[in-house]
Amino acid sequence: MTNMTADCAVVTDLLPLYYDRVCSPQSRALVEAHLAGCASCRGALAALGQNVGVESDHREEAAPMRALASLLRRNRWLAFFVGAFVVALVGSIASAVTFRLIGATVDAEGILNEPFFLVPIGMLLGLIALGSGIAAVAIMVRRRIA
Ligand SMILES: [Zn+2]
């Protein structure tokens, strides 16, 4: 190593890419060769790992979820429709289940009591879920994500 400072500067620039395993094999070999003989840069790499923390241990498993999260961050309308779809679907199912649970009864005066209001609410939420789902899929198809 003739110019340690310049090497360290280059390696420090490469460390985040090296850490994220997105640098070229050549850069990777260069970083590893330098790390073997430079305690200062090994320290910088260790600090990088500490900053990322627990997440780094699960980076492989979490990759699809992180991809989805970043996708939703970049596509606000998609996030909106996916959110609306989930909320409306859950609400629709909850309405149907509640309707079944309450059931229909006939009281002493022969008047039918049933939570009829849940039917249009459930249908409305179902329609919203359907519309949101179609809109979300349409956005994904248009952006060639799906
Ligand atoms: Zn160094």
Residues 56 and 95 in one domain: no
Amino acid letter at 9? A
Question: What pLDDT does residue 56 have?
Answer: 47
Sequence-ordered list of residues with C-beta below 8 angstroms from that of 15, at least 6 positions apart, any chain = 31, 41, 44, 45, 48
- How far is ligand 1, taken at its centre, from the CA of residue 9, in Å? 7
Residues 27 and 84 in one domain: no
Q: What DSSP line would sit under 8-25, residue for residue?
A: HHHHHHHHHHHHTT-S-H
pLDDT band at residue 71 under the 50/70/90 scheme: confident
Sign of torsion over alpha carbons 46, 49, 53, 57: negative
Instruction: Find the mean pLDDT for residues 95-99.
Output: 87
Question: What pLDDT does residue 58 have?
Answer: 52
Residue 41 pLDDT more than 50?
Answer: yes
Rounded CA gap, 25 and 21, in Å? 9
- How far is ligand 1, taken at its centre, from the CA of residue 21, in Å? 19
- How far is ligand 1, taken at its centre, from the CA of residue 44, in Å? 9
* Residue span of the structural domain in which 11 resides: 4-60
Q: Is residue 67 domain-resident?
A: no
- How far is ligand 1, taken at its centre, from the CA of residue 86, in Å? 50
Residue 116 pLDDT more than 90?
Answer: no
Sequence-ordered list of residues with C-beta below 8 angstroms from that of 118, at least 6 positions apart, any chain = 95, 96, 98, 99, 102
User: Considering the entire predicted model, what is its pTM?
Assistant: 0.46
- How far is ligand 1, taken at its centre, from the CA of residue 56, in Å? 23
Q: What DSSP line would sit under 43-70, residue for residue?
A: HHHHHHHHHHGGGGGGHHHHHHHHHHHH
Instruction: Find the mean pLDDT for residues 79-88.
Output: 91
Q: DSSP 3-state helix, strand, coil percentages of the chain (rounded to 5)?
A: 80, 5, 15
Question: What pLDDT does residue 1 have?
Answer: 46
- How far is ligand 1, taken at its centre, from the CA of residue 22, in Å? 20
- How far is ligand 1, taken at its centre, from the CA of residue 55, in Å? 26
Of residues 85 and 54, more confidently modeled: 85
- How far is ligand 1, taken at its centre, from the CA of residue 19, in Å? 15
Record the tokens describing residue 11, joined without a space: 């390696």
Average pLDDT value over all residues in the chain: 83
Residues 45 and 82 in one domain: no
Q: How many domains does the chain have?
A: 2
Residues 11 and 56 in one domain: yes
Residues 44 and 80 in one domain: no
Q: Is residue 119 domain-resident?
A: yes
